[in-house]
Structure 1
Amino acid sequence: MRKLTLLLLCIVTLGLASCKKETYVRPNNLTIVKYIETNQWALSSDGLTYSATINDSRIDPRTFEDDGILVYISRGDTNIYEQLPFVYNVDAFSYSVKAGSLTIDVQSSDNQDTQPIKPSSRTRVKIVLIESYQ
């Protein structure tokens, strides 16, 4: 009787020990596509930077502080995206973010010719908000 109880106890223990709980975390990312028209690029007063600002309420204070924000642009609204920051044809493209908006800057990377080239066609911008699991 004792051996049978011990055997059943071992089987139950092995059965319970082999169960494991798995937690699946589903990514909660958001992709936003916006457009910058050529007339939205503004030249700074010193003539060194073209800037365009994109306003979006989905870049809220919590997203700004806690999550990842990636920015890609498609120069000329083509089917090719380039991740910011990057340099193309001596112009450096970069961005800055604050709660509620994102600003893209174009500056010359050439010390000889400091005036950047203004984008001459519509620019598609892809903003990817990546939620952080803390």
Structure 2
Amino acid sequence: MLSSAEPGGAGAGAVPPADLPAELLAMLDAPSLDRLRELDPNGQMGLLPRVLRTFDSSMIKLLQQLNDAQGARDPQVVRHVAHTLKSSAASVGALQLSAMCADIERRVRESDTAELPARLEAMVAECQRLRTGLKFIASA
């Protein structure tokens, strides 16, 4: 069970939002989502779904860049993808993905690549898990 301090936890006094499925809420940090909701409190502008759709589109492009970089054995592109994805994941509350990306970015920067393939595989799996959770917003 998640505490309010853990990613995906409800946060102090937070009410789980009705506009997102429980599966997706379990993957995203509630306080991060709350900060996004504050920008569109009534949801009239559809900001949260738009931000999540943009994150999903960005993730697709970054995963393709990662795939190309791995084929070309270009660690600097891998680092760039990890850095970019780290920031965008954090902004939508995908804190587990953000932490994975930070670890990959650090490892590439320090030329500590021994475990990089396994870590990249885990990061891609987390992206796919998030993408599955984000599917519902595609038609919203």
TM over 0.5: no
TM class, shorter-chain normalised? under 0.3
Q: Which protein is richer in strand relative to its size?
A: 1
When normalised by structure 1's length, the TM-score is 0.27
Larger radius of gyration: 1
TM-score if structure 2 supplies the norm length?
Answer: 0.26
**Relative contact order, CA 8 A, sep 6+: which one is greater?**
1
Q: Name whichever structure is richer in helix by fraction.
A: 2
